């Protein structure tokens, strides 16, 4: 299929492009690992001896790395410097470029970050049932898609405003609070817990980690909800994209 | 009294050798190999106060390195430089207040989000320019450079030509005694380059500043400099007046003649025809043979018009750059 | 004196520039507020499950969060706009050359050429949280405690700047290496009490990368006053960091200008 070939090509190119800057990849790994690791330290102090919490935050570190999204850099900057104009003229959907870059960066983050996660798991003695990890995989794939769609949606605001980094920063705060980094879903106060379970942010991050840690029972509905959010955000991103391009081609660059 | 004197100046860089391939990349992590590049070797010249000198040479000749050494950005491996009585690379405050380096590749340094006027104000504080001098100097520069409409625009929003004008204003605001101009018209379109040239000619005439200028464009040099220093492979290859350069460097002159009846055969064994347009011919003739060849052609052909010219500086330099002296 | 004037000039120019975009001001203020609210919410959630965090009470952690927010504000306002991207902008694109030829110390010019004044909102918000935290504390801290806090905040500011310079200086040896974002990530570790971390990490954050003196030390001085050892230790760390930054910067500059090395 042509689309998958084009994505594979974009991934390959971006993967090679990133090979020259291993130190930057390491910075990103640290950047993405530090939030969940602080959560691990804090919540281990709050609930000493709780093995599930340790398992959850270690898994969360891996999920955070594997769902990392930087469309405010890979895409929004191309709106600001005008190169998106070239991309619009190419005979392929523009989203393929950022999507390829996204996958390539995640590959690199996984390559450097998973050994780090395994080391943390060994040091903290976190151990997983393989059934739980397998069960978490479909939800991880959906989380990865959802996080990309969310960041992409926010990055599209670059067509209207220059403050895209701040907007994506705002989105990341929501992911931080409701996604399960600040606290595991079960430790949020009552009404927050309900809100967090329904909003898409927990589905981007905490859900697969919780399943892998064996924390969540009846996660079937949560995964269904996750898939539902994927559909909603895809539709949203398509609509915003269309009106963004209309604006771009009307205003020019 | 000289404004700039350079004596036996040499600069050697050590650059890491990077081989292609992943294996070599890993090897270089452990054991890095270096190669020495001599950018400038044994350069010596003196520039009196108020002189405008063109520093010429092909890419990689060592011009920019020489400029960096004279302005104080680099420390040489050997030799000495004296600019206004200072050793540049010590970068003493009184020295820095009297010189400016303007580079066409990056005309404006500093914070790019500031407006031109803001940047000028910052310069005033940085260089401690008294109020009266500031206002007078500013008005003059705004007039000469046509900066009026640009004052409230951010540096980063300016076009290259506008940036160059702003960069010149920022550097000349504190009236430097020595001005280093590195490729000041780089990448400018014809009219922007002309504007910069006209300004520089006017400014140097008025201010009496000493100027060292490098450029790839002959027009820059021809319109501004009486004296040329030609650098190649890090060495001075010629130092003297502009007019003598082609006489000294080119063993040929150009002979243009218009002769309706002439054919190629007429020139065989006499001179080398390098171009022809209709009835006019362009011949390359060794300097010593000019009289003989001219006489020969006038007797053998029906000549309407004849002129002897020095080859253009560009042609001469092109040959020197490619073949050496 | 001249440097102070220069700093004031460049800051006021940046501020004037920033204020011309009023929508951005509102936007950044709101964003700073939301970010701070999320941090405070996290603290409240944590303390809904426990009475103490590594021996720290809720008011103490609030003071810590406020101090951290204030210092983050200082970092984003003054340090990041200048030192992040120094390897690219400064060394590879030649802005350092520009500063080297200006008649003021290069370390000063590189550090204070510009600023992001809108991020300064964060400084005010952080200070408000410090006051709120100190107000709810069981023992009300006196003027002496606030004095010690202010002194250590100043020291922490210097330390932050020095660490920024150290990270930036790496570019003299490896121009492609830009580790400022790494500094930003590791910086987050200072958000919570240094006592949370296991002993080897705590040592690392005290002696190698002085994160422990950044927010934890001033907070301690405010919350549990009367420890000259803490005060002296933190000041000594700052002095060491500034000295190291100066030495490394100079060595890097010598290398950059080809003067030996």
pLDDT of residue C75: 94
User: Using the beta-carbon criterion (under 8 Å), do C95 and B109 form an inter-chain contact?
Assistant: yes
pLDDT of residue C26: 84
Q: Does C132 touch chain A (CB under 8 A)?
A: no
Chain C, nearest residue to A35 by Cα: C188
Residue whose C-alpha is closest to residue A163's, from B28, C23, B178: C23
Cβ partners under 8 Å of residue C196, min gap 6: A41, A42, A45, C53, C54
When divided into structural domains, chain C yields a total of 1
Residue whose C-alpha is closest to residue A61's, from A31, A90, A91: A31
pLDDT of residue C261: 41
Domain carrying residue C162? 2-256
- Angle, alpha carbons B229-B323-B40 (nearest 5°): 40
Minimum distance, in Å, between the CA of residue C174 and any CA atom of chain B: 11
The pLDDT confidence band at residue B29, using thresholds 50, 70 and 90, is low
pLDDT tens digits along B51-74: 999 998 888 888 889 999 999 999
- Asked if the model's pLDDT at residue B19 lies above 50, the reply is yes
pLDDT of residue A253: 46
Give the C-alpha distances (Å, rounded to integers) separating A150 from A232, B53, C68.
Answer: 10, 60, 29
The pLDDT confidence band at residue B30, using thresholds 50, 70 and 90, is low
- Angle, alpha carbons A43-A184-A215 (nearest 5°): 105
Q: Does C48 touch chain A (CB under 8 A)?
A: yes
What percent of chain A is modeled with pLDDT above 70? 98
Q: How many Cβ atoms from other residues are within 10 Å of residue A17's Cβ?
A: 11
**How far from each other are the two terminal CA atoms of chain C, in whole angstroms?**
33
CA dist., res. B267 & res. A151, Å (int) = 76
CA dist., res. A140 & res. A144, Å (int) = 6
Contacts of A34 in chain C (CB under 8 A): 185-186, 188-189
- What DSSP line would sit under B218-286, residue for residue? HHHHHHH-SEEEEEETTEEEEEEEHHHHHHHH-SEEEEEEE-TT--HHHHTTT-EEEEEETTEEEEEEE
Contacts of C254 in chain B (CB under 8 A): 75
Spell out the long-range contacts of C233-237 with Cβ–Cβ below 8 A and sequence spacing 24 or more: C234/C152, C234/C155, C234/C156, C235/C151, C235/C152, C235/C155, C237/C155, C237/C159, C237/C206, C237/C210, C237/C213
Q: Which fold would CATH assign to domain B2-246?
A: Rossmann fold (3.40.50)
Cβ partners under 8 Å of residue A34, min gap 6: C185, C186, C188, C189
Q: Does C256 touch chain A (CB under 8 A)?
A: no
Minimum distance, in Å, between the CA of residue C4 and any CA atom of chain A: 31
Segment among A155-159, B82-86, C1-5, C33-37 with least mean pLDDT: C1-5
Strand partners, B10: B78
- Asked if the model's pLDDT at residue A239 lies above 70, the reply is yes
Residues 127-166 of chain B whose Cβ lies under 8 A from any Cβ of chain C? 127-128, 154
Contacts of B73 in chain C (CB under 8 A): 97, 100-101, 257
Touching partners of A (3+ C-beta pairs < 8 Å): C
- What DSSP line would sit under C158-193, residue for residue? HHHHHHHHHHHHHHHH-TT---HHHHHHHHGGGGS-
Average pLDDT, rounded, for chain A: 89
Q: Say if residues C106 and C256 touch (Cβ distance below 8 Å).
A: no
Angle between helices C121-136 and C58-74 (to 10 degrees): 160
The pLDDT confidence band at residue A43, using thresholds 50, 70 and 90, is very high
CA dist., res. C140 & res. C133, Å (int) = 10
User: Using the beta-carbon criterion (under 8 Å), do B75 and C9 form an inter-chain contact?
Assistant: no
Residue B79 phi, psi dihedral angles, 5° rounding: 95, 180
CA dist., res. C261 & res. C259, Å (int) = 7
Q: Does A21 touch chain C (CB under 8 A)?
A: yes
- What DSSP line would sit under C40-59, residue for residue? HHHHHHHHHH-S-BTTB-HH
- Asked if the model's pLDDT at residue B20 lies above 70, the reply is no
CA dist., res. B227 & res. B204, Å (int) = 14
Element (H, E) at B70: helix B63-71
Domain ranges of chain B: 2-246, 251-309
Please count the CA atoms within 13 angstroms of the CA of B205 that sit on its side-chain side. Answer: 8
Q: How many Cβ atoms from other residues are within 10 Å of residue A1's Cβ?
A: 6
**How far from each other are the two terminal CA atoms of chain B, in whole angstroms?**
32
Q: Which of C34, C179, C192 sits opposite A42 (nearest CB)?
A: C192
pLDDT of residue A252: 54
CA dist., res. C175 & res. A147, Å (int) = 33
pLDDT of residue B23: 66
Q: Does A38 touch chain C (CB under 8 A)?
A: yes
Q: Say if residues B76 and B40 touch (Cβ distance below 8 Å).
A: yes
The pLDDT confidence band at residue A186, using thresholds 50, 70 and 90, is confident
The pLDDT confidence band at residue B176, using thresholds 50, 70 and 90, is very high
User: Using the beta-carbon criterion (under 8 Å), do A173 and C38 form an inter-chain contact?
Assistant: yes
Contacts of C7 in chain B (CB under 8 A): none
Chain B, nearest residue to C114 by Cα: B111
Domain B251-309, CATH class in plain words = alpha beta
Element (H, E) at A210: helix A206-212
- Asked if the model's pLDDT at residue A249 lies above 60, the reply is yes
Average pLDDT, rounded, for chain B: 86
Q: Which of A20, A176, A187 sits opposite C49 (nearest CB)?
A: A187
Helix or strand or coil: residue B304? Answer: coil
Average pLDDT per consecutive 10 residues, chain C (261 residues; last block may be shorter): 88 86 82 91 92 90 94 93 88 88 92 88 94 85 89 94 92 83 88 88 83 86 81 91 95 84 41
Q: Does B126 touch chain C (CB under 8 A)?
A: yes
Residue C187 token pair: 């910086």
pLDDT tens digits along A193-222: 999 989 999 999 999 999 999 887 667 888
> In the structure, how many helices (H) and strands (E) does chain C have?
12, 0
Q: Say if residues B231 and B298 touch (Cβ distance below 8 Å).
A: no
Q: Which of C49, C178, C196 sits opposite A41 (nearest CB)?
A: C196
Give the C-alpha distances (Å, rounded to integers) separating A182 from C35, C106, C175, C218.
Answer: 12, 41, 36, 24
pLDDT of residue B117: 93
Q: Does A28 touch chain C (CB under 8 A)?
A: yes
Element (H, E) at C131: helix C121-136
Contacts of C45 in chain A (CB under 8 A): 182-183, 187-189, 192
Contacts of C104 in chain B (CB under 8 A): 93, 126
Chain C, nearest residue to B180 by Cα: C101
Chain C, nearest residue to A176 by Cα: C38
Q: Say if residues B63 and B233 touch (Cβ distance below 8 Å).
A: no
Q: Say if residues B9 and B43 touch (Cβ distance below 8 Å).
A: yes
pLDDT of residue A199: 93
Strands laid side by side in the B235-241 sheet: B99-103, B178-182, B210-214, B52-56, B227-232, B235-241
More confident residue, C141 or A227: A227
CA dist., res. C96 & res. C86, Å (int) = 8
Chain A, nearest residue to C48 by Cα: A189
* CA trace torsion C68, C71, C73, C76 (10° rounding): -120
pLDDT of residue B105: 85
Minimum distance, in Å, between the CA of residue B303 and any CA atom of chain C: 58
pLDDT tens digits along B180-229: 999 888 888 888 888 888 888 888 888 889 999 998 777 888 888 889 99
pLDDT of residue B28: 60
User: Using the beta-carbon criterion (under 8 Å), do C258 and B118 form an inter-chain contact?
Assistant: no
CA dist., res. A61 & res. C165, Å (int) = 30
Q: Does C113 touch chain A (CB under 8 A)?
A: no
Alpha-carbon radius of gyration of chain A: 19
- Residue C261 inside a domain? The answer is no
The pLDDT confidence band at residue B24, using thresholds 50, 70 and 90, is low
Residue whose C-alpha is closest to residue C74's, from C31, C127, C22: C127
pLDDT of residue A250: 79
Residue C188 token pair: 């987050």
Contacts of C103 in chain B (CB under 8 A): 93, 96-97, 126-127
pLDDT of residue B249: 73
Q: Which of C43, C46, C198 to mutate to test the interface with A (most CBs of A within 10 A)?
A: C46
pLDDT of residue A168: 92
Residue B272 phi, psi dihedral angles, 5° rounding: -95, 120
- Residue C219 inside a domain? The answer is yes
Note the Cα B103 to chain centre separation in Å: 11
Q: Does C178 touch chain A (CB under 8 A)?
A: yes
State the average pLDDT over residues B98-121: 89
Minimum distance, in Å, between the CA of residue A34 and any CA atom of chain C: 7
Alpha-carbon radius of gyration of chain B: 24
Q: Which residue has the tokens 């680099």?
A: B74
Domain ranges of chain A: 2-251
Q: Does B96 touch chain C (CB under 8 A)?
A: yes
Give the C-alpha distances (Å, rounded to integers) separating B32 from A19, A239, B12, B98, C124.
Answer: 20, 53, 18, 41, 50
More confident residue, A91 or B213: B213
pLDDT of residue B213: 93
Q: Which of B74, B118, B127 sits opposite C13 (nearest CB)?
A: B118
Please count the CA atoms within 13 angstroms of the CA of B44 that sit on its side-chain side. Answer: 5
Residue whose C-alpha is closest to residue C115's, from C77, C73, C86: C77
CA dist., res. B29 & res. A213, Å (int) = 40
User: Using the beta-carbon criterion (under 8 Å), do C41 and A177 form an inter-chain contact?
Assistant: yes
- Asked if the model's pLDDT at residue A18 lies above 80, the reply is no
ipTM value, please give it: 0.87
**How far from each other are the two terminal CA atoms of chain A, in whole angstroms?**
33
State the average pLDDT over residues A225-233: 95
- What DSSP line would sit under A58-112, residue for residue? HHHHHHHHHT---HHHHTHHHHHSSTHHHHHHSSS-TTHHHHHHHHHHHHHHHHH
Question: Taking an 8 Å Cβ-Cβ cutoff, which residues of chain C contact chain B?
Answer: 2, 5-6, 9-10, 13-14, 16-17, 93-95, 97-104, 113-114, 254, 257-260
Residue C177 token pair: 């290496």
Minimum distance, in Å, between the CA of residue C156 and any CA atom of chain A: 21
pLDDT tens digits along B244-295: 877 777 778 888 888 888 887 888 877 888 788 888 888 888 888 888 888 8
Q: How many Cβ atoms from other residues are within 10 Å of residue B32's Cβ?
A: 10
């Amino acid at each position: 299929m042509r689309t998958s070939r084009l994505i594979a090509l974009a991934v390959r190119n971006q993967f090679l492009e990133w090979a020259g800057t291993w130190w930057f990849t390491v910075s990103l790994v640290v950047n993405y690992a530090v939030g969940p690791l602080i959560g691990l330290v804090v919540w281990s102090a709050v609930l000493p001896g709780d093995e599930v919490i340790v398992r959850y935050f270690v898994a969360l570190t891996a999920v955070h790395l594997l769902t990392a999204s930087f469309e405010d850099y890979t895409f929004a900057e191309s709106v600001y410097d005008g190169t998106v104009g070239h991309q619009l003229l190419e005979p392929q959907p523009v989203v393929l470029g950022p999507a390829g870059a996204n996958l390539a960066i995640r590959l690199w983050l996984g390559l450097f970050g998973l050994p780090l996660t395994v080391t943390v798991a060994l040091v903290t003695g976190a151990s997983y049932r393989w059934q739980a990890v397998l069960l978490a995989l479909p939800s991880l794939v959906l989380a990865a898609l959802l996080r990309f769609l969310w960041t992409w949606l926010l990055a599209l605001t670059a067509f209207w405003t220059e403050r895209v980094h701040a907007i994506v920063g705002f989105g990341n705060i929501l992911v931080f609070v409701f996604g399960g980094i600040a606290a595991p879903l079960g430790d949020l106060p009552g009404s927050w817990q309900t809100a967090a379970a329904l909003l898409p942010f927990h589905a981007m991050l905490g859900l697969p980690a919780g399943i892998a840690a064996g924390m969540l029972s009846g996660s079937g509905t949560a995964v269904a909800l996750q898939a539902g959010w994927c559909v909603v955000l895809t539709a949203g991103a398509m609509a915003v994209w269309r009106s963004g391009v209309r604006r771009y081609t009307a205003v020019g660059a | 009294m000289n404004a700039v004197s350079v004596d036996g100046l040499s600069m050697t860089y050590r650059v890491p050798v990077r081989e292609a391939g992943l294996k070599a990349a890993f090897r270089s992590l452990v054991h890095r190999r270096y190669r020495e590049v001599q950018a400038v070797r044994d350069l010596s010249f003196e520039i009196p106060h108020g002189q405008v000198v063109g520093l010429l040479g092909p890419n990689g000749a060592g011009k920019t390195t020489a400029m960096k050494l004279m302005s104080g950005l680099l420390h040489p491996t050997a030799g000495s430089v004296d600019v206004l009585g200072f050793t540049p690379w010590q970068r003493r405050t009184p020295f820095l207040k009297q010189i400016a380096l303007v580079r066409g590749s990056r005309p404006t340094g500093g914070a790019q989000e500031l407006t031109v006027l803001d940047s000028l104000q910052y310069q005033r504080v940085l260089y401690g320019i008294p109020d009266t001098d500031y206002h007078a100097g500013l008005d003059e520069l705004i007039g000469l450079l046509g900066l009026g409409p640009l004052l409230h625009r951010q540096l980063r929003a300016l076009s290259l030509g506008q940036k160059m004008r702003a960069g010149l204003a920022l550097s000349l605001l504190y009236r430097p005694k020595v001005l280093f101009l590195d490729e000041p018209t780089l990448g400018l379109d014809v009219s922007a380059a002309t504007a910069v040239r006209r300004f520089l000619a006017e400014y140097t005439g008025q201010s009496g500043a000493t100027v060292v200028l490098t450029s790839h464009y002959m027009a820059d040099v021809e319109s501004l400099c009486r004296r040329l220093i030609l650098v190649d492979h890090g060495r001075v290859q010629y130092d003297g007046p502009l007019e003598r350069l082609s006489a000294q460097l080119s063993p040929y002159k150009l002979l243009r003649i218009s002769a309706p009846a002439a054919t190629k055969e007429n020139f065989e064994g006499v001179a080398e025809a390098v171009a022809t347009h209709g009835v006019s011919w362009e011949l390359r003739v060794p300097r010593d043979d000019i009289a003989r060849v001219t006489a020969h052609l006038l007797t053998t052909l029906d000549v309407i018009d004849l002129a002897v010219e020095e080859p253009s500086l560009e042609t001469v330099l092109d040959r020197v750059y490619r073949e050496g002296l | 004196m001249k440097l102070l004037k220069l700093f004031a000039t460049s800051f006021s120019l940046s501020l004037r520039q920033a204020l011309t975009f009023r929508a951005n001001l509102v936007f950044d203020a709101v964003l700073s507020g939301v970010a701070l609210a999320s941090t405070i919410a996290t603290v409240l959630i944590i303390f809904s499950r426990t009475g103490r965090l590594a021996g720290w009470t809720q008011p103490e952690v609030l003071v810590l969060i406020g101090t951290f927010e204030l210092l983050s504000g200082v970092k984003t306002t003054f340090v990041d706009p200048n030192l992040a991207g120094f390897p690219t902008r400064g060394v590879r694109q030649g802005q350092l050359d520009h500063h080297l030829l200006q008649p003021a110390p290069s370390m000063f010019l590189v550090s204070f050429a510009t600023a992001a004044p809108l991020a300064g909102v964060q400084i005010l918000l952080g200070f408000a949280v410090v006051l709120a935290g100190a107000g709810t504390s069981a023992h009300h801290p006196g003027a002496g405690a606030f004095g010690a806090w202010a002194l250590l905040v100043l020291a922490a500011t210097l330390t932050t700047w020095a660490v920024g310079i150290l990270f930036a200086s790496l570019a003299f040896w490896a121009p492609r290496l830009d580790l400022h974002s790494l500094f930003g990530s590791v910086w987050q570790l200072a958000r919570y009490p240094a006592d949370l971390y296991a002993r080897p990490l705590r040592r690392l954050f005290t002696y190698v990368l002085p994160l422990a003196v950044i927010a934890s030390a001033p907070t301690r001085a405010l919350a549990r006053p009367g420890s000259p050892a803490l005060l002296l230790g933190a000041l000594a760390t700052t002095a060491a960091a500034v000295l190291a930054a100066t030495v490394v910067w100079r060595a890097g500059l010598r290398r950059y200008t080809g003067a030996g090395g």
